[in-house]
Structure 1
Amino acid sequence: MIKTKKDLFINGNWIKAKEYRYLTSPYSGEVIASIPIATEQEVNLAIESAERAREIMKEMPAYERAAILERLVNMFEKRSEEAVEIIALEAAKPITTARDEVARTIQTYKFAAEEAKRIHGETIPMDAAPGGRGRAAYTVRESIGVIGAITPFNFPMNLVAHKVGPAIAAGNPIVLKPASQTPLSSYFLAELLHDAGLPPGALNVITGTGKVIGDKLVTDPRVVAITFTGSPEVGTDIRNKAGLKRVTLELGSNAAVIVDKGVDLGNIIPRCVKGAFSFQGQVCISLQRIYVHEDIYNVFVEKFVEETKQLKIGNPLDPETDVSALISKKDVERTLNWIEEARQEGAEVITGGAAEGNILLPTVLLNVSSSMKVSCQEVFAPIVIINKVQSTKEAFELVNHSRYGLQAGIYTENIHTALDAAERLHVGGVMINDIPTFRVDHMPYGGVKESGIGREGIKYAVEEMTEMKLIVFNRN
């Protein structure tokens, strides 16, 4: 096990904090590290450091920014198993799933390295307007300055990569506050980027309370943009306090899939089980709601439960483990309360519904009304509801009857139904013949309603992190 003491990473140096806390494993409860708690003074030092690096990063040519990211990729590839173990320990992510995350993290930084060389503007046909004759114009995209990044526990390396990668590609320094439960991944990244030649101050990693660090990043005028992944409540608070800062928010979800009649369930069932229970359902686009046509509902439920019961529960470091501990005891208690509330209101718990230590057993609920918390709120746990519908039209309405709108999926053999879904589902992304949990790292990713504003995916994040400037030559 990793048992180490970490310091704050500011201006390319490891800085001792006045206070530290123990980081424990969500699975075993054992202490795995000692983590610094930053004061407002230390947050200020990190912002100062980033501000000093602003001109250095802005003037750095694209090929150099790309080269730093390429060296980072090489280091990640060489130390990938170390990265995998860090994620498995601090997040209790099953090690095979952690290995997938590290592979995606490497891919994300590869995309960032490539995108650094593709940031460009366009020429404007000025003579298209009567007053534009004899003028030539073009646009460029410039870095915007210091970016504050606040990241969650569930993808402690890849969701960090979706903020740090495009920031470096665009020539922006960044101050990163990782989730309290998963700081080791970010300190590991800081070490790698330092060795890759990133200038001092271009990345600062500070850990501590959201109140101290988050409030300072959001309100300090030197920080010109905030990129945040987390809860809608915190996201709303950030937007209210941020003023004219750029804000990208990736917030909550209760993602749904529709299963139409006439589809072959052979491949769909394992895919849906994976979407519902991968990393204990602690995925932003985890499959939480399934709406199945009444013609195949009974068969779907039977096969889904059968597949769910094959999942192995246990130690995240065991390669055979499919489902391990939730991130905290508090989340176990919360989800058990939600399950019990649903049961008392008429829902049927067909499998699961109990916990073993900090592991919530994969849980399937039937006959769930849309007002129950397990349906209308984000469970962030291995819980899925399966409800019967008479038509896809009814299913569209149920999917849209949500405060969230990140991604949704539909399985259908009917092209007209697929096109209807693409048009009618009010979400940021519609997956045809796949679960809503699908994501690759260069696609635009983000939602509507309380799922957030702005888009991630390297190219799209770079657009959020750059400013368009217009240049016009008068040749008259």
Structure 2
Amino acid sequence: MEPVPFFVAGRPVHGPEPLTVHHPYDGREVGRTSSAGADQVEAAVAAAASVADRAAALPAHVRTGALDHVSRRLAERAEETARLITAESGKPIRWSRVEVARAVSVFRWAAEEARRWSGEAQRLDTDPAGEGRLALVRRVPRGPVLGITPFNFPLNLVAHKVAPALAVGAPIVVKPAPATPLTALLLGELLAEVTEPDGPGTGLPAGMFSILPLPNDRAAGLVADPRLPVVSFTGSGPVGAAIRRSAPQRHVTLELGGNAAALVCADWASDADLNQAAERIATFGNYQAGQSCIAVQRVYVHEWLLDGFLPRLLAAVRALRTGDPADEATDVGPLIDEAAARRVESWVDEAVAAGATIEVGGRRDGATYPPTVLTGVPSTSRVSAEEVFGPVLVVAPVADDAAGFAAINDSAYGLQAGVFTHSLQTAFAAHRGLRVGGVIVGDVPSYRADQMPYGGVRGSGVGREGLRSAMEDYTEPRVLVLSGIEL
């Protein structure tokens, strides 16, 4: 296979160290690229810094035109992109197609938000001293952005870094996950189509984007570089915490995952209700082999409903097909590698040793771990208290809504929670009382609309994704006061 180039200041280049990408399901080679050398990293950062002022001044039609182009071209190459996502991440093809569709929407939404990105006018004559004065508050880029992305959404989470940066006129340097760089590089091809090759014109400046495959242990230099004043990281909690400590003078946004919970309330009691909850929880506890920050992990059920709910959940989990992610019928593919599957296996084994019962699943096969349901799990077990990032559901009874809310809050994390209820009062009580970034009523915590604010509290991070929210994170307000005017 010919190595795929990466991008330094919008130009395709090759690095000194080969990087081979293997399929998580069967280990075969799916593509090659290379890791960026130190001089290429320096060139990317220097280019981003040098073009920052020009990027911030780009007319809206240039930024929106580039974003619209990428959205359109992604849609044209949707099937090719989906198959690449499946090949390098092991994600079932049906979910890879969903990811591509979401990324198409992300770039379209970014273009629409960029068209509305106009600032706010405030009249200041609310006090006598402000007569004849008007303030215009606009947001301006903080400077170039460093975007560090994980393996589980190799396209859409890159899109959530790149699209808002382009929308506000901020250069961006992307470091994709070492296990899944190829999808980010395909996106780089589309960005290069709207980048000026030889100087000023009508496209994006050449230094507007770089995509640098790098081993994780070489990311520290990028994080420490003051020429990248914004660091946007999606990944594990310990790494995010280390980034925050190492960049105290920078604007850092962190999306660090969680152990998302769903609560089935007493009024969700009909056969149709219980079937729906069971099917949604089964699907979204396992849909990326559990490798999603908002995959269902903990399930709390009103105790008198448990006997009716649990058999339905087990049946829905057993119906999920595990296998080759390229197969159209596969629901659950492998984890990213065998080491990840072994870790999940060890956590389940620990819980069983502490008294838990495996109701279904629990037998690893290489990098594949089957959809697994546990009951009787101590709340302190890692499979419940930490982020398992695998296809494991922990089911427990609760006495009432208050006990369910307390169980959800008994966590170091706080990303999203799902509450199955028909009661508006319960919905608002959940929104008021749950210490999470988002409450999804009538569905699993795994629901996310890409334009809405998305992020968490406590160990789940700081800042918000979602197009406008990220645009605000990448910028800061600047006030213009006009004097001597009649309002």
TM-score exceeds 0.5:
yes
Structure 1 residue 465: Cα displacement = 1.1
1:467 aligns with 2:476: yes
- 1:207-230 CA distance string (max 9 Å, x none): 111222x21221111111011100
Structure 1 residue 196: Cα displacement = 3.0
Structure 1 residue 36: Cα displacement = 1.3
Question: What is the alpha-carbon distance in structure 2 between the residues aligned to residue 146 and residue 18 of structure 1?
Answer: 25
RMSD: 1.3
1:321 aligns with 2:330: yes
User: Which residue of structure 1 lines up, in the alignment, with residue 243 of structure 2?
Assistant: 238
User: Which residue of structure 2 lines up, in the alignment, with residue 229 of structure 1?
Assistant: 234
User: Which residue of structure 2 lines up, in the alignment, with residue 356 of structure 1?
Assistant: 365
Of 39-48 and 90-99, deviating more is 39-48
The AA in structure 2 aligned to 1:391 is D
User: Which residue of structure 2 lines up, in the alignment, with residue 165 of structure 1?
Assistant: 163
Return the match for 1:441 from 447, 450, 460.
450
Paired residues of 1:88 and 1:316 also in contact (CA < 8 A): yes
Structure 1 residue 38: Cα displacement = 2.1
Q: Secondary structure at the match of 1:468?
A: strand
Structure 1 residue 421: Cα displacement = 1.0
User: Which residue of structure 1 lines up, in the alignment, with residue 104 of structure 2?
Assistant: 106
Question: What is the alpha-carbon distance in structure 2 between the residues aligned to residue 67 and residue 340 of structure 1?
Answer: 53
Question: What is the alpha-carbon distance in structure 1 between the residues aligned to residue 8 and residue 145 of structure 2?
Answer: 15
Structure 1 residue 40: Cα displacement = 2.9
1:218 aligns with 2:216: no
- 1:371-401 CA distance string (max 9 Å, x none): 0000000000000101011111111111000
- 1:37-83 CA distance string (max 9 Å, x none): 22333211110121232233222101111011111111111111110
Give aligned pairs, total: 473
User: Which residue of structure 1 lines up, in the alignment, with residue 180 of structure 2?
Assistant: 182
Structure 1 residue 94: Cα displacement = 0.1
Structure 1 residue 128: Cα displacement = 1.7
Paired residues of 1:137 and 1:472 also in contact (CA < 8 A): yes
User: Which residue of structure 2 lines up, in the alignment, with residue 260 of structure 1?
Assistant: 265
Aligned-pair identity in percent equals 39
User: Which residue of structure 2 lines up, in the alignment, with residue 278 of structure 1?
Assistant: 287
User: Which residue of structure 1 lines up, in the alignment, with residue 6 of structure 2?
Assistant: 8
User: Which residue of structure 1 lines up, in the alignment, with residue 27 of structure 2?
Assistant: 29
Question: What is the alpha-carbon distance in structure 2 between the residues aligned to residue 438 and residue 305 of structure 1?
Answer: 22
Question: What is the alpha-carbon distance in structure 1 between the residues aligned to residue 481 and residue 98 of structure 2?
Answer: 48
1:305 aligns with 2:311: no
Question: What is the alpha-carbon distance in structure 2 between the residues aligned to residue 35 and residue 366 of structure 1?
Answer: 44
The AA in structure 2 aligned to 1:111 is W
User: Which residue of structure 2 lines up, in the alignment, with residue 288 of structure 1?
Assistant: 297
Paired residues of 2:338 and 2:368 also in contact (CA < 8 A): no
Of 144-153 and 11-20, deviating more is 11-20
Question: What is the alpha-carbon distance in structure 2 between the residues aligned to residue 12 and residue 411 of structure 1?
Answer: 47
Q: Secondary structure at the match of 1:330?
A: helix
- 1:234-256 CA distance string (max 9 Å, x none): 11111111122111110020000
Of 219-228 and 260-269, deviating more is 260-269
Q: Secondary structure at the match of 1:314?
A: coil
- 1:179-202 CA distance string (max 9 Å, x none): 011100110000011113443121
Q: Secondary structure at the match of 1:354?
A: coil
Question: What is the alpha-carbon distance in structure 2 between the residues aligned to residue 471 and residue 413 of structure 1?
Answer: 48
Q: Secondary structure at the match of 2:125?
A: helix
User: Which residue of structure 1 lines up, in the alignment, with residue 199 of structure 2?
Assistant: none
Q: Secondary structure at the match of 2:334?
A: coil
The AA in structure 1 aligned to 2:114 is A
Aligned positions of 1:44-83 closer than 5 A:
44-83=42-81
Paired residues of 1:108 and 1:441 also in contact (CA < 8 A): yes
Paired residues of 1:43 and 1:216 also in contact (CA < 8 A): no
Structure 1 residue 108: Cα displacement = 0.6
Paired residues of 2:11 and 2:192 also in contact (CA < 8 A): no
User: Which residue of structure 1 lines up, in the alignment, with residue 145 of structure 2?
Assistant: 147
Structure 1 residue 317: Cα displacement = 0.6
Question: What is the alpha-carbon distance in structure 1 between the residues aligned to residue 467 and residue 47 of structure 2?
Answer: 25
Task: Give runs of ≥4 in structure 1 deviating > 4 Å.
Answer: none
Question: What is the alpha-carbon distance in structure 2 between the residues aligned to residue 11 and residue 192 of structure 1?
Answer: 14
Paired residues of 1:253 and 1:451 also in contact (CA < 8 A): yes
The AA in structure 2 aligned to 1:390 is A
Gapped runs of 5+ residues in structure 2? 196-203
Question: What is the alpha-carbon distance in structure 1 between the residues aligned to residue 131 and residue 68 of structure 2?
Answer: 44
Structure 1 residue 416: Cα displacement = 2.2
Q: Secondary structure at the match of 1:36?
A: strand
Question: What is the alpha-carbon distance in structure 1 between the residues aligned to residue 85 and residue 20 of structure 2?
Answer: 17
Gapped runs of 5+ residues in structure 1? none
User: Which residue of structure 2 lines up, in the alignment, with residue 397 of structure 1?
Assistant: 406
User: Which residue of structure 2 lines up, in the alignment, with residue 85 of structure 1?
Assistant: 83
Question: What is the alpha-carbon distance in structure 1 between the residues aligned to residue 424 and residue 304 of structure 2?
Answer: 19
1:203 aligns with 2:209: yes
Return the match for 1:453 from 443, 447, 462.
462
Paired residues of 1:40 and 1:216 also in contact (CA < 8 A): no
Structure 1 residue 12: Cα displacement = 2.1
Paired residues of 1:37 and 1:207 also in contact (CA < 8 A): yes
Q: Secondary structure at the match of 1:356?
A: coil
